[in-house]
Structure 1
Amino acid sequence: MPTAILPSPASEAKGLANVGNEAGSKKRKIICFSDFDGTIFMQDTGHVLFDNVGCGAKRRELLDQQIKTGERSFREASEEMWGSLHVPFDDGFEIMKKALEIDPDFRNFHQYCISNKIPFNVISAGLKPILRRVLDTFLGEDLSAHINIVANDAKIAEDGSEWKPIWRHDNELGHDKALSVQEARSQAILTCEDGTIPLIVFIGDGVSDLPAAREADVLFARRGLRLEEYCIENNIAHAPFDTFADIQREIERMRKEDEEKTAGNGLLAVFNPRANLWRRVSSKTAVPLYATKSAVAGVTA
């Protein structure tokens, strides 16, 4: 399989800010970022491959534990897991296709984003060729094309003899999700009209999503999984969700509330400045978030 050329972070971030700009409007009030594995799809694409045609579940679980304890970096352990694959891409994908289950309401939510010109971006520590193939298959190529994927690229040999990640960032994470969201926010601000500050929404399921969630104004955490548990344990404002229908309902509520209020008094007018102020005065290790009580209550109900 040919290796895709990875665009520079700055150029890709600019693309994220402009998704849905076909009509010529530069104003972007809401931009969505979502984790992939465990969020859009219930299973982890990498785990499906490693457990079935790679190092096996037992070794993968040991490597996951070493990442959690800090014994090995995410990048180092991941390279071993991806390196354990020796199967052609198409064969590996057939296994994933049978094992993966998409959120039942994601297709409708994605169509909602397209109809309302809300940029939707996947942000993942996985491999872009895999994620794109999965989305093309489950959504169709036309709908999949509306989703930007911010992830690591990969070099995958045609015969499957080598699966090698091409990391977005030269650090122990391989992909610094927080940096990717920061870049997209900076570019989005430049495209907004009348000084509007974009509202960044992040959707996730695991603690590994926290670096990106720190950069968001609104955080949706899949109910019952580790991200929600962590938010509850550490008193981090968030809106739990069961399916993407919950997220769609809340985003629509926020959009309508903002439209009904006069400039300067709308939801976004008070939402973003506070989030930006928090980021200026907070430490790098803290997890910022500002979400209205009504947003959390609305999804819980």
Structure 2
Amino acid sequence: MGSEKLAHADARFILMSDFDGTITERDSNDTATDDLGFGVDRRRELNVDILNGDKTFRDAFAEMLNSVSKNGHSFDDVKKYLVKHITLDAGFKTCYKWCEEHDVPVVIVSSGMKPIIEAIFANLVGEEDAANIDVIANDTEFSDDGSWKIKFRHPESGFGHDKSRATAPYRDLANPPTIFFCGDGVSDLSAAKAADLLFVKVIPNHTNDLSVHCDREQIPYIPFETFDKVKDVIARIVEGKSTIDEELKRK
């Protein structure tokens, strides 16, 4: 099983985060499926199937995105629609700037498609900041007839993109960094146990699939609604004012 190349081998701390529904307020893939594909009801059925182990994330996610393409929506039209409708977590810019000032690399680890993420992100934070943040994600495959589908980073994996592989190579370093991971949903299941400290976005009256999974599997995490809390917790740890264990007790 392969893993990602080391981009930040000298870092003491790394913040890795899911993109859709974590850095953004709404999941762009859910938005595309709900608004342009087969709709929210079928999508939620598939999410439950993933949580229950009845379907792999890879197969269910491909089915969701294929429903958008099959409805006749071109990739460019989908990208423009999502750029228009997706908004940023209220605290992310502040968190990112703090990380930048304190030498904490920020890496997006997403099950979405890189061209979509880059377009949305450039619109939300500006092209300069967007270009400075690493994006590890799936890609897009196009056919001669103009149709498109997701191109999985790890097609042999049931996750399609096994996010735990982004953290794996750092574990073999003589001085491995402390890895923080932020996520919210079923695409983050593979990363839930791989980080030193897991932050789970928990929104009132929302489905909160990752928190349901972590509670069921007894995986420790810190819940958050915006990245303001993520920044505050990371700052205390990086500055030596607190430890991961203390923060988990404090949550």
What's the TM-score once normalised by structure 2's chain length?
A: 0.84
Matches within 5 A, 1:113-152: 113-152=99-138
Q: Give the match's secondary structure for 1:42.
A: coil
Q: 1:229 to 1:60 in 2, by over 3 A?
A: closer
Deviation of 1:248 after TM superposition, in Å, equals 0.9
Equivalent position of 2:38 in the other structure: 55
* Structure 1 residue 257 corresponds to structure 2 residue 236: no
Matches within 5 A, 1:206-285: 206-224=185-203, 225-257=208-240
Amino acid at match of 2:95: F
Q: Contact 1:41–1:102 (CA<8 Å) still a contact in 2?
A: yes
**1:143-177, CA deviations, whole angstroms, 9 ceiling, x for partnerless residues?**
01121111111124698x32222211122221111
Amino acid at match of 1:166: K
Residues 195-204 or 229-238, more deviating: 229-238
How far, CA to CA, are the matches of 1:69 and 1:232 in structure 2? Answer: 14
Q: Which has the higher contact order (CA 8 A, sep 6+)?
A: 2
Identity rate, percent: 33
**1:175-207, CA deviations, whole angstroms, 9 ceiling, x for partnerless residues?**
111122213544xx3xxxxx5331011111235
Q: Contact 1:250–1:295 (CA<8 Å) still a contact in 2?
A: no
Matches within 5 A, 1:16-27: 17=8, 27=10
How far, CA to CA, are the matches of 1:165 and 1:98 in structure 2? Answer: 21
Q: Give the match's secondary structure for 1:292.
A: helix
Q: Give the match's secondary structure for 2:79.
A: helix
How far, CA to CA, are the matches of 1:251 and 1:166 in structure 2? Answer: 33
Q: 1:140 to 1:185 in 2, by over 3 A?
A: farther
Q: Contact 2:62–2:150 (CA<8 Å) still a contact in 1?
A: yes
* Structure 1 residue 111 corresponds to structure 2 residue 93: no
How far, CA to CA, are the matches of 1:151 and 1:58 in structure 2? Answer: 26
* Structure 1 residue 29 corresponds to structure 2 residue 12: yes
Higher-Rg structure is: 1
Deviation of 1:293 after TM superposition, in Å, equals 2.6
Matches within 5 A, 1:32-43: 32-43=15-26
How far, CA to CA, are the matches of 1:246 and 1:197 in structure 2? Answer: 24
Within the candidate set 79, 82, 104, 1:96 is matched to: 82
Residues 225-234 or 44-53, more deviating: 225-234
Residues 41-50 or 66-75, more deviating: 66-75
Equivalent position of 2:158 in the other structure: 172
Amino acid at match of 2:76: D
How far, CA to CA, are the matches of 1:46 and 1:35 in structure 2? Answer: 13
Equivalent position of 2:175 in the other structure: 196
What's the TM-score once normalised by structure 1's chain length?
A: 0.71
Deviation of 1:56 after TM superposition, in Å, equals 2.9
Q: 1:92 to 1:115 in 2, by over 3 A?
A: same
Equivalent position of 2:141 in the other structure: 155
**1:32-91, CA deviations, whole angstroms, 9 ceiling, x for partnerless residues?**
111112211121111111222223334333433443444433222322322231323332
* Structure 1 residue 293 corresponds to structure 2 residue 238: no
How large is the Cα RMSD of the aligned pairs?
2.5
Amino acid at match of 1:72: K
Deviation of 1:142 after TM superposition, in Å, equals 0.6
Amino acid at match of 2:23: I
Q: 1:167 to 1:32 in 2, by over 3 A?
A: same
Equivalent position of 1:264 in the other structure: none
Within the candidate set 57, 70, 75, 1:74 is matched to: 57
Amino acid at match of 1:223: V
